[in-house]
Structure 1
Amino acid sequence: MKRNKKKIIIIAICAVLGVVALLYICGLLGQVISNYAEWNEKGGLTGGTTIRPVDWNPAVCYSKAFTVDGLKSLAAVIVIAGLVFAVVKLHDRFDSKERDPRGFAKSKSGAYGTASWMTPKEMKETLEVSTPETAQGVILGEYEGKTVCLPKDTKLNRHIAVFGASGTMKSRAVIRNALFQALKQNESVVVTDPKGELYADTAQLYRDAEYEVKVFNLVNPEHGDSWNCMSNLGGDTLMAQVLTNVIIGNTSSGKGDHFWDNGEGNLLKALVLYVGLDRTRKPGQKHLPAVYQMLTRNTEFQLTALFDKLPLDHPARAPYNLFAQASDTVKSGIILGLGTRLQVLQNKAVQAITGSSDIDLTMPGRKKCAYYIILSDQDTTMTFLSSLFFSFLFIKLTRYADSMQNGRCAVPVNLVLDEFNNVGRIGGSADGSDFARSLSVCRSRDIRVMLAVQSLGQLQNRYPNNLWAEIVGNCDVQLMLGCTDDVSAKYFSERSGEMSIEVNSTMTVRKTIAVAQLIPQYRHTEGQGRRKLLTPDEVLRMPNDELLCIIRGYNVLKLNKFDYTKHPLSWKIRKTSVFAYNPERVYDTTDSTPDERQEENPAKEKREGNPAVKAKKLYGSAKPPSEF
């Protein structure tokens, strides 16, 4: 009641002041009219007189307002005000103050949708707009000569999904800038580098800044550091399961048979745990090549003899017992299949980079590090190793962050995953849901992910069953640099939202009876319609120097791409080739200890002593018998 009463009093005061002002203005106009008439009666220009000036005295003005000339002025003011009011109302109802350059008028009503472009004011309130020299956050693009960045103190999760076909400047306009900004903020980076170009441009910059620089080279292994995925594995059955699932999942065909996958997975897990817990082996002898050697240098009966000597509560017994329950024919097929999956370990260079550990997966969270993962963009032979690397990286960094008092890494870690689909399926789950889950929780540990793909279809193929949507949904910032496929175009068209537009139509009405229509009749209608802020066709026709930035909770932002050559750190680039990187490593090629070889002899003697067993073909069949 008090608020309404106060509002009424304010309205009354404004009305009184308005009337007073109106009468004053009408008095002034009345004087102008009467003075002009008087001057005109005296001869005007030929009479030798001048128009009497207006008297600004309020008393004179108010008295003049109630004369005939004053009332004429009042009527004229009312008519003009009415016309202005009508024009404004009709303009707001049927037209818009802003006309889109694409040739349609926007409606202010928002009846069908309120999507629009992010305004410069909203951009400055949401993002960091600064010069390249003072930019602090991740650079998203350029606007009127200034960089637009995701602020360091943003409430968004800082995960970024980048979509761009070949030639849309993903590396030039996004990836390199992200590496430069991480360097400015003294943050660690783990970056995938399919061509080795990122290493060539930035490795020396990181070394000059006293970063720990490592290279995991899966294209030319001799020019890279080594990483033993089984180092410190011990009896950690969780990590052994992740290792097994990643290898099986990334070496299976698209039409994988779960029967064989499960059998080979159980055998691989048993071998990994056996080698990892084998006290007769030195720490440097516990690695994937040793697992492969154990598989290929022992027969089925020799393996069984080794596992039978383990205690019943040994972690390797359970998975091996599941394998051992199969028939001899099936076991032969499982051994053959697993050996085929791991045949890349026959390569000496691959044995060298997986047989020892120069790379510490928790170090990026403890000190400034720059890890480069050189991937092949031609084949998938080594995909399981890159998938293993990142699967273990997420687990190790998360465990390290959880061990800290504040639950965060001591140094923020940026995972820059260029050509993300070449990494392989990350995580131990068969469907890839582990990565989506890790993405949703790693933000609180100061782990940020930027993933870049060429199209949405690539991501859908790698993570089907709507897991791709969960991954993209965990990225609060999405960048579209350009596309050539309908799937990506339709997705970003939908994400742009619907807007209300003004629709006008004109119809000519002609009578069929009339012989001639000198004056045709027209019918003009005005109303509202809807359209996407961006149609799929408009997404496909984006200029190559522009990008779309979609931020959770905001309208779409259109920016220019910021080429890395404009960044201040680009002037300090000193190129270096990854082929000049030749680290020293020590790889223990010893496959077993003397005690272990002695353990193999009884099984060997047993097999040689049985003629039936000796005559049996190990790989007689790769299919399970019908009664299995």
Structure 2
Amino acid sequence: MQRAALVKWLAIGILAITMLMVATMYPYGVLFVLVLAGGAALQPRYGTRAWMPAVLSVGLAVIFVFMTWSALNFRQEMKQVLSIKPGQSVPVESGPVRVNIGLMLSSTPFDKIPLPEKAGRAGLLGGVILGAILAVGYRQGTEHGPDRVHGLKVASGAAQKGTSRWAGDADVAKVAEFGPPKEGKYGGGTIVGKLRGRIVRLQPEKSKPPLPQHACVVAGTGAGKSFSFVIPNVVSAAMEGESVVVTDPKGELACTLGPWLKSKGYKVYLFNLGNPEWSMCWNPVMECQDDEEITAFATAIVQNAARDNSGYFVMKEIQLLKALIYLLRADFPVEQAHLRSALSLLSWPKEALDRRFSEAYRVGRLPQVGYEEWCGSVSSNYDNAVSGLTAKLGVVRAESVAKLLSRHEIDLSAIGREKAVLFCVLPIGAGHLKPVLASFYYFFFRRLYGLAAENGGRLPNPTRFILDEFANVGQIPGFVEVISTARSLGIKIQFVLQGLKQLQDVYGGPEAIMANCPIQLFLGGDDATTTRYFSSRLGEAAVYAESERKDVTMPWNRIEIPKRTETIVRRALMEPEELSRMDPMAAVCLVRWCLPMYLQKLGWTELPQSKDILSLAVAKLSELQPARPDVVVDLPEIPEGRNDEAPDRDRSFERGSDLNADGGIGDFLKSPKDEPENPDYL
């Protein structure tokens, strides 16, 4: 770094000496050098906008010199024409005026030079000055900027009218780095767009105290969430060496990014719910390790498969599913211990299933907690629980899903130990897969938390979750606790929604989750809840506003010039309706402890890594993941027998007293005709 800095300053010194020598000979010519050098210096910071002053200044200067030269030629020709006497037939020989460019550029204002060079010099200066004025006017005419809100100038010292405004480079520098992602410390970050031509990579860890990089991205249909957020941030994570878990609708991201990530030393995993022949398998039944995980898994399956995810019968279904999971893990071969077998067990005669539970418990294979769950589920309303759970497990009846969940091949904790990427490919219309996806991500977080606990509270390799179509993932058990504690473990969670209403529908209220997302990005959309939220969060600014006043009482008053007044008013940075019709290439970003940003979207093809990505991309998933041998789903054989009531027996010694057990007080109080319709009576 010291050698590079020395070379840099040496080059600057040589350039300065050269320009000084040129200035002594060509004081006006050096203006061109300064203007062009300024544009080149500012180009990395402001992009093509940096060349606007140079283009206007140089362009107008050349135009003005040409105009003065043309005027001199016209003057000479007119002088010669007027000098012809009446009746004179001698042709007039005339030629264009010659301008000595070297003399024009090397003269000083005090030198006496011929008229053509003097006129050219005047045109040169006039063009440069006018170009500079127009460039400044172009910059100040920006609709949104640190000193402009909808083209209105922001007033200073008027806090009573509003303190918000759009952020500039200096405001963002404390929480961001600029430029495309690169390798090294602070080389990654969260890419949110371009601020005045510069790529913004948010690095909240730079702030004091550091903030997590959790992000909520809201993008309506066609807003470019994959093109301008998902892919750029996968690239950014790779530049920083982070592992990545990304939800991939339709498998396009895996085809585009998978080969490039492999070339960067990443191990690529593919969990393909749409096409299982190009996927690795994962068995959630065998993933469970304790009662807490079995409970969370059963809850995720049942609650995400129903709109009404609470109530007595839902709890009975969860209890029954927990019992079946315990039995599958304890008393069935590994090949049959999967979720599709749980659906098969629901079709067993209750007497045969009860006998299987009892035998497994007596010989010590089934833990007591599993037998207790079975006794509780079979004590009452068993048929209701069976019918409800059978409907909710219908998602695993599909052969493709059943195959994926029948074997255990993915080590979820491996993502946190090494550089790896996992693409969770979703088919079109993946809403019915919410029970599977919610369970998958729940176990993912559990395994990473366990790995971090084994390594001093932090993952060996930081991991970033980029969850597109987050609403289709379903309700992940304990997600609010995860997003509030994940930063210290080296986990970043960034999810994409089509509207904040989706978050409310899934989790009941977005406040707890949004409060843990220091980065909130709006890429466009017309959801009323979303636009109202971002409008209120952007705040209001104090701006100068002009108004006209004219007295029209009498007819002759209409010809008077109106009086113009300027006042300071309160103006919202963006009203809800303005957000809904925002420029499709614009975005709005909120970052905690920073002024809001009005950005231009960044297409991933603008990144320097895009050339390599496009050259390595494949057209089909089969080119990334070879087709695997067909998976055979092994199911337990359904025993013969009638689906009648289990034999009456006293289970009090096994599970304690139960008011609703056969022969108990609850059974005595029940009507002999029918079961209670209101579960609150139980």
Over residues 126-152 of structure 1, what are the superposed CA-to-partner deviations in whole Å (9 max), with x where a residue is unaligned? Answer: 310124557432322123443210238
Contact kept? 2:531, 2:577, Cα under 8 Å: yes
* Corresponding residue for residue 575 of structure 1: 617
Over residues 558-590 of structure 1, what are the superposed CA-to-partner deviations in whole Å (9 max), with x where a residue is unaligned? Answer: 121111111122111222212443453685744
Q: Distance in 1 between matches of 2:157 and 2:646?
A: 89
Over residues 361-393 of structure 1, what are the superposed CA-to-partner deviations in whole Å (9 max), with x where a residue is unaligned? Answer: 101111111111111341422221111100111
Alignment-mate amino acid for residue 542 of structure 2: S
Secondary structure of residue in 2 paired with 1:370: strand
Secondary structure of residue in 1 paired with 2:316: helix
Secondary structure of residue in 1 paired with 2:587: strand
Contact kept? 1:509, 1:521, Cα under 8 Å: no
Is 1:138 the counterpart of 2:201 in the alignment? no
Q: Distance in 1 between matches of 2:384 and 2:350?
A: 11
Is 1:194 the counterpart of 2:245 in the alignment? no
Contact kept? 1:365, 1:413, Cα under 8 Å: yes
Percent identity of paired positions between Structure 1 and Structure 2: 27
Normalised TM-score (structure 1): 0.72
Q: Distance in 2 between matches of 1:219 and 1:622?
A: 45
Over residues 471-520 of structure 1, what are the superposed CA-to-partner deviations in whole Å (9 max), with x where a residue is unaligned? Answer: 12211111111112222111111010122234666666799xx9997999
Contact kept? 2:277, 2:630, Cα under 8 Å: no
Out of 289, 292, 313, the position equivalent to 1:238 is 292
Is 1:290 the counterpart of 2:341 in the alignment? yes
* Corresponding residue for residue 93 of structure 2: none
Is 1:380 the counterpart of 2:380 in the alignment? no
Q: Quote the offset at 1:606 in angstroms.
A: 9.9
**Superposition pairs for residues 216-365 of structure 1, below 5 Å?**
216-234=271-289, 236-252=290-306, 254-256=307-309, 258-278=311-331, 281-296=332-347, 298-309=348-359, 310=361, 314-326=368-380, 330-365=381-416
Alignment-mate amino acid for residue 474 of structure 2: G
- Name the CA shift for 1:552/1:524 in 2 (closer, same or farther; >3 Å): same
Q: Distance in 1 between matches of 2:340 and 2:568?
A: 69
Contact kept? 2:172, 2:594, Cα under 8 Å: no
- Name the CA shift for 1:174/1:516 in 2 (closer, same or farther; >3 Å): closer
Over residues 180-214 of structure 1, what are the superposed CA-to-partner deviations in whole Å (9 max), with x where a residue is unaligned? Answer: 11222221111001121101101111222232211
Out of 491, 506, 513, the position equivalent to 1:471 is 513
Q: Quote the offset at 1:414 in angstroms.
A: 0.7
**Superposition pairs for residues 156-167 of structure 1, below 5 Å?**
156-167=211-222
* Corresponding residue for residue 523 of structure 2: 481
Secondary structure of residue in 2 paired with 1:139: strand
- Name the CA shift for 1:449/1:379 in 2 (closer, same or farther; >3 Å): closer
- Name the CA shift for 1:313/1:218 in 2 (closer, same or farther; >3 Å): closer
Q: Quote the offset at 1:404 in angstroms.
A: 1.0
Over residues 23-68 of structure 1, what are the superposed CA-to-partner deviations in whole Å (9 max), with x where a residue is unaligned? Answer: xxxxxxxxxxxxxxxxxxxxxxxxxxxxxxxxxxxxxxxxxxxxxx
In structure 1, the gaps of 5 or more residues are: 1-96, 428-433, 611-620
Out of 544, 547, 550, the position equivalent to 2:584 is 544
Q: Select between 546-555 and 315-324 the one with higher mean Cα deviation.
A: 315-324
- Name the CA shift for 1:510/1:386 in 2 (closer, same or farther; >3 Å): closer
Q: Select between 379-388 and 390-399 the one with higher mean Cα deviation.
A: 379-388
* Corresponding residue for residue 119 of structure 1: 168
Q: Distance in 2 between matches of 1:240 and 1:424?
A: 18
**Superposition pairs for residues 68-87 of structure 1, below 5 Å?**
none
Over residues 90-122 of structure 1, what are the superposed CA-to-partner deviations in whole Å (9 max), with x where a residue is unaligned? Answer: xxxxxxx95645346535321132101112212
- Name the CA shift for 1:274/1:104 in 2 (closer, same or farther; >3 Å): same
Secondary structure of residue in 2 paired with 1:367: coil
- Name the CA shift for 1:624/1:390 in 2 (closer, same or farther; >3 Å): farther
Q: Distance in 2 between matches of 1:291 and 1:398?
A: 28
* Corresponding residue for residue 457 of structure 1: 501
Q: Distance in 2 between matches of 1:133 and 1:323?
A: 56
Q: Distance in 2 between matches of 1:185 and 1:588?
A: 40
- Name the CA shift for 1:352/1:117 in 2 (closer, same or farther; >3 Å): same
* Corresponding residue for residue 70 of structure 2: none
Contact kept? 1:324, 1:331, Cα under 8 Å: yes
* Corresponding residue for residue 64 of structure 1: none
Q: Quote the offset at 1:241 in angstroms.
A: 0.3
Q: Quote the offset at 1:276 in angstroms.
A: 1.7
Alignment-mate amino acid for residue 203 of structure 1: G
Contact kept? 2:525, 2:580, Cα under 8 Å: yes
In structure 2, the gaps of 5 or more residues are: 1-145, 649-672
Is 1:436 the counterpart of 2:469 in the alignment? no
Alignment-mate amino acid for residue 438 of structure 1: V
Out of 413, 433, 437, the position equivalent to 2:463 is 413
Contact kept? 1:161, 1:452, Cα under 8 Å: yes
* Corresponding residue for residue 79 of structure 1: none
Alignment-mate amino acid for residue 553 of structure 1: W
**Superposition pairs for residues 34-73 of structure 1, below 5 Å?**
none
Secondary structure of residue in 2 paired with 1:416: strand
Higher relative contact order (CA 8 A, sep 6+): 1
Q: Distance in 2 between matches of 1:128 and 1:473?
A: 24
Secondary structure of residue in 2 paired with 1:182: helix
Contact kept? 2:524, 2:584, Cα under 8 Å: yes
Q: Distance in 2 between matches of 1:485 and 1:436?
A: 24
* Corresponding residue for residue 448 of structure 1: 492
Contact kept? 1:112, 1:529, Cα under 8 Å: yes
* Corresponding residue for residue 110 of structure 1: 159
Is 1:556 the counterpart of 2:596 in the alignment? yes
Alignment-mate amino acid for residue 453 of structure 1: L
Is 1:499 the counterpart of 2:541 in the alignment? yes
- Name the CA shift for 1:202/1:622 in 2 (closer, same or farther; >3 Å): farther
Contact kept? 1:158, 1:477, Cα under 8 Å: yes
Over residues 314-351 of structure 1, what are the superposed CA-to-partner deviations in whole Å (9 max), with x where a residue is unaligned? Answer: 1212221221220xxx3222212212221232333322
Q: Quote the offset at 1:243 in angstroms.
A: 0.7
Q: Quote the offset at 1:260 in angstroms.
A: 1.9
Secondary structure of residue in 2 paired with 1:161: strand
Q: Distance in 2 between matches of 1:605 and 1:336?
A: 13
Q: Distance in 2 between matches of 1:459 and 1:141?
A: 24
Secondary structure of residue in 1 paired with 2:493: strand
Q: Quote the offset at 1:289 in angstroms.
A: 2.2
* Corresponding residue for residue 262 of structure 2: 207
Q: Quote the offset at 1:445 in angstroms.
A: 0.6
Alignment-mate amino acid for residue 458 of structure 2: R
Q: Quote the offset at 1:528 in angstroms.
A: 4.1
Q: Quote the offset at 1:221 in angstroms.
A: 2.2
Normalised TM-score (structure 2): 0.67
Contact kept? 1:133, 1:567, Cα under 8 Å: no
Contact kept? 1:136, 1:152, Cα under 8 Å: no
Alignment-mate amino acid for residue 248 of structure 2: D
